[in-house]
Amino acid sequence: QLIYLNGQFVSKKDAVVSVYDHGFLYGDGVFEGIRMYEGNVFRLQDHVDRLYDSAKSILLSIPYSKQELSDLIVETLLRNNLQNAYIRVVVSRGVGNLGLDPASCSQPQVIIIAEELTLFPKKLYETGIDIVSVATRRNRSDVLSPKVKSLNYLNNILVRIEANLAGVSEALMLNDQGYVAEGSADNVFIVKNGEILTPPGYVGALEGITRNVIMEIAHKLGFPMKEEVFTRHDVYVADEVFLTGTAAEVIAVVKVDGRKIGDGKPGSYTNKLLEEFRKVVKEDGVK
């Protein structure tokens, strides 16, 4: 496996960064997760745009143009001979001294890792998953926007730990007002009386690219779709619940905090959206 690290392709064993990197010391950096499906990089432009927006928001200057970075992503996939893959792009503030001040970091580090991955076993897409809601809150801070996909993922990791402790594979995070925000690494949707709802970004959710694709598909299929705040109660009494994300794709949720959702099986809207999503990812990528 070859990993892109600051201008070179190196083996996995040699792909190491300094302990003085502020990405490591302080979580100072940004990242993206991207998928390649059958040789197509799905929504590459959207991911690259979001990476640059995240970086701009934290005043981190990526030392490549968007086109150069996109080309490097594609090159990493080609060099590893991949057709179906998960790609992780990381840009950290770079090596500095032990102080917080990013001014001590001379050059951002750019890392691209690509490997084969499926998050959930295939069977779970047919059965759906059980999830819980957890105590960890999504920070809705207007200072570091939830739209910034930063290397500070401790909230999300605490959510994952709580999910592990509850013996489930994913969990829902609420914001400080008790509105449902998102999962640890995915967005959430509910379906009630034929209407599909997902929380608006301001609730404290990353505006997921998969989420946007699902909204486009729902629109195309003529399914009523709204961005609206909702609570755990609304989730419990929903007809369907599903999660979306680059890694998770579209996965049905059939139990939340012990409450069975609908009839306890993936619902018809979820199944239809997953089916269309699977078509779109094959048709709609960068070769």
The residue ranges that bind ligand PLP (CB under 6 A) are 33, 156, 182, 185-187, 206, 208-211, 244-246
What's the min distance (Å) between Cβ of 22 and ligand PLP?
20
Q: Which is nearer to ligand PLP, 95 or 173 (CB)?
A: 173
Catalytic residue, candidates 12, 56, 66, 149: 149
Question: What are the start-end ranges of the E strands in the chain?
Answer: 2-5, 8-11, 29-37, 40-42, 85-92, 109-115, 129-138, 170-175, 180-183, 187-192, 195-198, 225-227, 240-245, 249-256, 259-260, 285-286
Q: What is the CA angle 47-50-197, rounded to 5?
A: 85
Residue nearest ligand PLP (C-beta atom): 208
C-beta separation of 42 from 281 below 8 A: yes
Distant-in-sequence, close-in-space partners of 207: CB < 8 Å, separation ≥ 6 = 147, 201
Shortest distance, CB of residue 160 to ligand PLP, whole angstroms?
11
- 77, 122 contact by CB (below 8 A): no
Of residues 219 and 260, the one with the C-beta less far from ligand PLP: 219
Residue keyed to tokens 């998960």: 86
For residue 9, the 8-state DSSP code is E
DSSP track, 207-225: --HHHHHHHHHHHHHT--E
Question: Which residue's structure tokens are 């590893």?
Answer: 80
Name which of 146 and 266 has its Cβ closer to ligand PLP.
Answer: 146
Q: Which is nearer to ligand PLP, 169 or 187 (CB)?
A: 187
Task: Find the shortest distance in angstroms from Cβ 208 to ligand PLP.
Answer: 3
Considering beta carbons, is residue 95 or 159 the nearer one to ligand PLP?
A: 159
Tokens linked to 278: 């699977």
Distance CA 115, CA 125 (A): 21
Q: How far is the CB of 83 from ligand PLP (least distance, A)?
A: 20
**CA angle at residue 21 from 164 to 119, to 5 degrees?**
30
Catalytic residue flag (residue 149): yes
Instruction: Fill in the DSSP letter of residue 120.
Output: S
DSSP 103: G
96 or 145: whose CB is closer to ligand PLP? Answer: 145
Tell me how far, at minimum, the Cβ of 16 lies from ligand PLP, in Å: 24
CB of 101 to ligand PLP, least distance (A): 27
Residues belonging to the active site: 149
